[in-house]
Structures are given as structure tokens and as C-alpha cells.
Chains A and B, each alone.
Chain A
Amino acid sequence: MADFIPHTESETREMLDLLGLDTIEDLLSVFSQSMPASGPPDLSPLGGGKDERALMEWFSSRGDRNLSSSRAVVFRGAGAYDHFIPAAVSALVGRGEFLTSYTPYQPEASQGLLQAIFEFQTAIARLYGMDLANASLYDGATALAEAVLVAVRETERSVVLLSEGIDPEYRSVVETYLEGMSVRVEVIPLEGGKTSRSALGKSVGPNVACFVGATPTFLGTIDQFEGVSDLLHEAGGLFIIHANPHCLALMKSPGEWGADLATGEGQPLGLPLSSGGPYLGLLSARKKFVRRIPGRLAGLTKDREGRQCFVLTLQAREQHIRREKANSNICSNETLLALQALVYMSLLGPEGLRRAAAGSWSNAHDLCSRLRTIPGVSLVNPDADFFHEFVLELPLEADDLSRHLLQNGILGGLPLGALLGPAWGRRMLWCATEVRSETEIARTVEIVRHYLVH
């Protein structure tokens, strides 16, 4: 049994003596008055403890029961992407000075993280084409929900318009976050993979707090937002875009589309698939919303000797100061993952990011055009451009093909029936990133062809 307690028996004795106690069990008197009738708990389910070797054996054997990318080639995205991650990322992020530190409340002893947060904010603001970004939120879905809350507070209005292009699970998270408020969510449909302008035009009105668009959409299409910013602003609402940061190396940014706020899931920036988390919520904004947005902010300043340094700033927005009037309840965020994304972006640089994004775009288009040659397979939304994901209509149930592919060591496109309803039962959301090889693509296409044709 290991417990990481460094005391020797004689030290424990000396400490108890100073306190005038006979045994360490005497400390239980701190809650003797609170001891429930049931008495002390039965801890037997916790077992007898494990040594390091036994522990790793337990976890390794559980890991072997998962079909990770080491055992199934990933052609699935839908919010979690298999990208290249340089070795230097984990080497730097795993340093104990970062890993085992707390929120940098004492700036003089936390300059390393404060500077990294400041640099992360800068990189995200530049990538999204916005003035500023915060130090992170939990994940893409909660970042989107928090951005919606900013719009609701800023406008004091009660209708939120969400594009159908937003991941339906993100939409559910937004609805959960709005559970306690009198706010109505309305979905603006996609037409051919792009936001329906007529539907948006009809819905925008004096009660609308914001419209949230997504690009690429959940279905992979690149949405277009000409005039959307003006439409919203004339009606007094805000325009929010949720965008994949990997694609933004090449794709028109939320800032260029005129968004007021932008959110994203930072996982594609150097975070492994991670069994779903921890991920990284991105939130960026125009300068005028700086006192409205949630989450920590690191700012540039000078010390007493006039040296460049960094501090947490504008904390009057946060829960530890404002309590029930705070912009959000968030305290712990995803700083280490923000550092990870920053290290990734620094290692690749602008050219590397563009190269990787172009690789994803190119592989996905290659995969799509090959799969479309299979009889009975067609591209849904053929008139919309896509980035690295696309939806195919199949001649049979997508679940059946998915199962067959998994048996052949391939995590194929995501069957959409479970998420979007029975009408989508034969549709599959495919993805190819820059790491997929020609061989993997060719083999996958042949297995699909064989399964569908025979």
C-alpha cells in the first residue's frame, strides 16, 4: 500500500506529542459531534491497494479493450479529430513546474504560466481574427453555451437562434445551460449545407439575443455569412460563430465574417483524442465585450523595475469577487491544455498549420471522390464546399457498414441515425485528416466497395 505520506513513525509521534494527543485516531474528535448514527464507513470495496506495477497492469489490460487509433484507423471526426502531434508537445507540457502548479494568483511566482496564457490568448485571437481571447473554458460545447449567455446578458433578450449546423450535442448542452432561464432556443435550418437565409431573415427580430452559426458545420460544409453580421446588428442582436481552429489556418475566420464573439473546440490543436476529454474550450471576442466575457484573462503590465510581466486581470468579472453577479461560475479551467495548444501552434508555425490543414482538406476530398464512385453512394449537399468532413448517403443502414469496418480495423464515418433521427439512418459523416495515408484511404475505399457491392 502506498499513500505518499512522508512521515516516519517517530516524526508522527513528535507531532502528536506537540498536540497533546495519544494516537492519530484522536484527531477524529474534530467531527465527533457530527458522527452519524451509521458510524464509520465500510471501506472494503476499496481493496488492499496496488503497487505501481499492478496498477499499470490493471490499466493496460483495460486499455487493450478499447479500439483506439492504434488499433482502428480513424476516419471519424464529429467534434474529435485525429491529428499529428509533435513529440516536443508532451515533453514540454509535462514539466512539473507547469503540471503541478495552481491558478497563477501570485504573479511573481507564476510568470511562466501567465506568459503562456497571454501568448495562448494572442494566438487564439489571431487565428479567429478577433481582438482578444480568454484563458480557456471547459470544452467547445460549454464555450458555445457561455458565449450565448454573454449575448443574453448583453442584450437582455430571450430568443437564441442556433444554426442547424451546430453539433446537435452542443445544442443540447446550450439547452442544459439555459435550463434555469426564460430563454427560448430556435433552430435555423441549413439548406444544402448552408444557413437558410430566408429562415434566418424571418427569425431575426427585436427579441433575438444572438444567432450562432458554425463553420465548418457539423455536416462538414463550409457555411457562408455575407451580410449576417449587418442583419443581426441592425436588429440589435449579436453574431456568434463556432469554428474549428484547424480549418481556420486556411478558411475565412469569424473575425472576417464580422462575428462579435467566436468559440471553438481546441482539441485539434495538439490534443490527443483522449477518450473525450479533457478538451479545451476557446472563446474570443471583440474588444467591446471584454468586461462581459467569462473566464480568466492574463494581461501585460510592468513590474516595479519597469520589466515586462504578466498578471491575471479584470478579475472583477469573476466568481471569487462578484459571487452571484459574476459573468460565470467558472473557476478551474483548462490551462494546461491551453499551454498544450500553444506549444503545438508554436512548433508548427503558420506555415505548418496551413500545411496540415491543407493535408486534411486534400485527404478528405480524395476520400470523398473515391467513395462516390461506388454504386449507390452519393454526396449529401453536393453544392456546398466542405473542409475535412462530408456526409454520404449509402444504399443500406450506416450502422451495418460501421460495424463491418470496425471488424476490419477501421473507425469509419459516423452513422447519423442515432443523432439526427431515422431519416438519417443511411447517412454517414466521414472525416480524413492530414495523418491519413494514401494506403489507408485506398484500403478503406476497397472494403466499403466490397461490402456495398457484394
Chain B
Amino acid sequence: MEPTLWQKSRPGARGVFPPGVPPEIFETRCPEGLRRESPLSLPELSELDVVRHFTRLSHLNRGVDTHFYPLGSCTMKYNPKIMDRIPEIAGFRDLHPRIAPEGMQGLLESLYTLEELLGHLLGMEAVTLAPAAGAHGELTGILIARRYFESRGDRGRTEILIPDSAHGTNPASAAMGGFSVRVLPSGNDGGVDLAHLEEALSERTALVMMTVPSTLGIFEKDLLKMVAMVKASGALLYMDGANFNAFMGLLRPGDLGFDIVHINTHKTLATPHGGGGPGSGPVGVKAHLAPFLPSPRIRKEGERFSLVSPKTSIGPIRSFIGSSLVLLRALGYLQMLGAEGVRRVALYALLNANYLRARLSGTLPRTGSGLCAHEFVLSAKELGAEGLHASDLAKEILDAGYYAPTISFPLIVPEAMMIEPTETESKETLDRFAEDFRKIVERARSNPSRVKEAPRRTPVSRPDEVSAARDPVLADPASLRAL
């Protein structure tokens, strides 16, 4: 393992020499009461020390560039290298967000173009690019729904219905938006149960949030019936579009009857996840909700673009216009694909998922039947007899040279393993993974204690998570010793 920056720090070592002046100038002229008194405990290293440190850390980390990453629900597809060049264009990289609109016409045109393309793909009349992530998009959509009902004087709609298979962000966003959450239990097939939905819908329902395809990787067979039921109740319909990769260019949420949808550019539109972020979570809405979109809005008049803040807006949900450098990558990706490419992406996402599903049949039971969408869920519950969990299998998968599938989600499947290969993986990779997966399941049955010891080939073995949480050490003790 690599020592921490503070463990390597050598007092007096100098790194990069920045522009500036000796700090004594500040200290002699700024009143004492305003100056920092405690020493600044940051590491002292040479530039080469720092380069080696982070290069070594990178070697301890797996990404799509290095490994197959079948992490369900996360759409870990290849991030095209050409898109890395776009944020390096000085006109975007070094643009100050508080310049007047006449100084950012190229940015506004680009973002407006992306709004229009997403509007076409989503079947929505208006799109905001402001949300910084999917969950942020959910909160935005929920606050829009709140404003919409307020504008109609309908204050009794205080409840949001969410299937028990939903991403955890759905109920968390609903609570942040000031709504109470009513959970919709899944039916036997893992889909939303129509009878439960009917019973739950009332004049208190503001919004029904649905993930399409569901987190089981299944298109609800009664989707259009559900949409009609929700509409009839007067509630709005929200689509969690985290799984947009399954149907981009094939189906449009707006055409299905949804009022609000968010997507994740760091999933479907190939912007890199960056170890957890930055993402971006554009939200599309139907015309009746457009007045409530967050400010600022981009307006086009003739060939000129400007920023406006309509009075009806829910207000800003972040600083400035959006995660521009992420959004420009997403725009680049869509422009490169074009109409035909967009469709092929979704079709091959379906093909790869179904091929891998078929190749893995007979290993562990799948939740759901027939064709899947862009991902599928297996259950490792039966290995409980050997004392094993899905998380144990995940560690063997790491040892076999892959990242692991999503485990323990969705919550409705015991010992879930959610597998999403994405369209950018080759048949060869899927074949190899299927073969290795089969061997791992066989080993789990024949030699479970060995699986409990995995992983062996990673830089560290299993960390002690219990003691990490019992007495959390969240900052390097070496940084205090230096003081």
C-alpha cells in the first residue's frame, strides 16, 4: 500500500512554485485578529513525490479503462477519449460564469442545442440542464411538482408513491422536497402491482415516481395502464431515467405519458463517473410544467442567446448555469452518434444484456423471466446454505479480473446481483466473464470457505468495515502529529 501524503511529508520540502508574494506581506499589514493562528497542516512534498503518489494510487484503482465493470444500474460504458478534449478548449475551460451573456454566446448556443436534442429524445417540451446529478434532478422535479400544484391552489397533494424496488434516492428526494413517501409493494413478477397502485392513489397523491425499465431490468407490461390510472387520479408522473440506456431513441418518456423525467449523463451519455462524480442530471418536463423549471433559463431570440429568471421558477438549485464541462461532453457524444448511432446504442445494450443473461442461465436464479432490458438481476440466496452472500461472490469476481456487479440492490431481491454489461463490451469479454462467473458459482458450492477468503489478488484483502464504523477515523492522524 501507498503511505498517505502526511506520512510521506518532509518538513521544508517544496513542490510547485506558484505566482504570488511572500506571506509576510499579508502578516505585517493585516490585523492580527483576522489572521490564521493555527499552522496549516498540509503535506510538504516535491512535485515528483506528488506525481508518484497519485500515479501509484491510480494503480490501486479499477476503472472502465482497465476492467470490465458490469455494475448494474450504473451504465459503466466506455467514455470516448475524444470527449476529454472538449473541456480542454480554452473558450469553455477558462470562461467565467459571471460574464454577461454576450461573452458566452458559444456556451449558451451549445447548451441550448443540448436542451433541444434531449427534448427530442425524451419527448418533452422543455429541459433544464442545471441539476448536478440524478438525485439533484429528482429533487428539482419534485419541487416543480410542488409548485405546479400550488399554482393550481391544490394544497392537499402531500404524498409521493414510490415502488419498493426504486433507487434509494427517490424516497430521499421526496422527503427533501417536503413530501411524505408511500411505498408501493411489488407484485410477484417484481413489477408494480396494479391493485396496490389503485388502492394507494388518492387526492393526496402528488407524484408517482417510476423507474423504467424497473430496477429488475424489466419493462412493466402494464405500463400504459398504470400511466392512465395515475393521470385519472390527477397526480403527476415522474420517470427516473437512470436506465435510459435501455431505450434511448427507441421510446420517449413523454410519449408514454410521463410529465417529468431525469436522466444521468454519466450513465447513458457516456460522461465519465470520475470515481463518484461529477455527473449531471438533466430534467425534461411537459409544457404545463415548463414555467417552474429552475433559473436561470436559456432563451433564444433570433441568433442571440440570453439568460432569464422567470418569476414562476422554483429558483436556482445550484450556483451558475450547470455542470457545463460535463454537459458539453454529453452533447459531443450525441452529435457523434447521430440518429442511427443513438438507436444502435440502445439496441446493443439490450443485446449484450440478453446475451449475458442467456450465457449465465443455470448459474444462479434470475428474478424475472423472458427477455430483459439493459440489465438483469440474479439472486445468490441459495448460497446462503453454504454461508455465503452475494458480497462474497463479488470478491471472487474481483479476483477474476473484473469489477463486481451491483450487490444487495434492488432491495426486493434477496442477495441480489445486478449485472449491466453495456453496449460497449465485446462478445469476447462477455464470454470470458460468463465462463469465469460459472466457475465462481461452482466454487462457491464446492469450496465455500475459499470464497470467504476472497479477494486474494487485489492490493488489499477485505477491510474491517465494522471497526471503521464503530470508531470512525475520517482524517489522517499523521496530519495532527505534524502540528
Contacts and interface: CB of A to CB of B under 8 A. Distances in A.
Which of B2, B98, B135 has the most CB atoms of chain A within a 10 A radius of its CB? Answer: B98
A396 interface: no
Contacts of A222: 34
Contacts of A100: 63-66, 76, 79, 272-273
A9 B95 CA distance: 44
B343 to A, nearest CB: 7
B94 interface: yes
Contact of A65 (B65, B88, B109): B109
B54 A349 contact: no
A1 B337 CA distance: 6
A248 B458 CA distance: 39
B54 A99 contact: no
A303 B138 contact: no
B333 to A, nearest CB: 9
A109 B325 contact: no
B126 interface: no
Contacts of B348: 3, 5, 7, 24
Contacts of B58: 92, 95, 97-98, 112
A99 B65 contact: yes
A276 B97 contact: yes
Contacts of B256: 34, 36
23 contacts: A7-B427, A30-B371, A34-B219, A41-B120, A80-B320, A100-B273, A108-B461, A109-B404, A113-B61, A123-B42, A175-B315, A250-B23, A273-B97, A277-B319, A298-B474, A299-B473, A311-B463, A330-B136, A332-B133, A333-B276, A349-B44, A359-B20, A362-B26
B185 interface: no
Contact of A329 (B54, B176, B395): B176
Contacts of A302: 463-464, 467
A111 B61 contact: yes
B224 A109 contact: no
B277 A335 contact: yes
Nearest to A415: B100
Given A33-B219, A352-B15, 14 more contacts: A1-B341, A4-B423, A18-B355, A101-B274, A112-B57, A116-B275, A132-B475, A180-B142, A180-B143, A272-B94, A307-B461, A335-B277, A350-B42, A355-B23
B387 interface: no
Interface residues of A, number: 209
Interface in B20-55: 20-27, 29-31, 33-45, 47, 50-51, 53-55
Contacts of A127: 40, 42
A290 B279 CA distance: 25
A35 B256 CA distance: 8
Contacts of A352: 14-18, 20
Interface string B321-347: 111111010001011111111111101
Which of A169, A176, A276 has the most CB atoms of chain B within a 10 A radius of its CB? Answer: A276
B459 A324 contact: no
A94 interface: yes
Contacts of B315: 172-173, 175-176, 179
B186 interface: no
A140 B319 contact: yes
Nearest to B178: A180
Nearest to B139: A329
Contacts of B472: 290, 297, 299, 313-314
Contacts of B104: 66-67, 275
A204 B408 CA distance: 46
Contacts of B195: none
Contact of A84 (B18, B132, B351): B18
A58 B335 contact: yes
A4 B179 contact: no
Contacts of A427: none
Nearest to B373: A30
B110 interface: yes
A40 interface: yes
A311 B427 contact: no
Contact of A18 (B57, B359, B406): B359
Given A56-B82, A173-B316, A176-B143, A252 B176 contact: no
B383 to A, nearest CB: 18
Contacts of A79: 97-98, 319-320
Interface string B200-219: 00000000000001000001
A314 to B, nearest CB: 6
B404 to A, nearest CB: 5
Contact of A62 (B91, B279, B318): B91
Going nearest first, the 3 A-B pairs with the smallest beta carbon separation are A180-B178, A63-B91, A49-B338
Which of B31, B91, B142, B251 has the most CB atoms of chain A within a 10 A radius of its CB? Answer: B91
B278 interface: yes
B46 to A, nearest CB: 9
A62 B469 contact: no
Contacts of B282: none
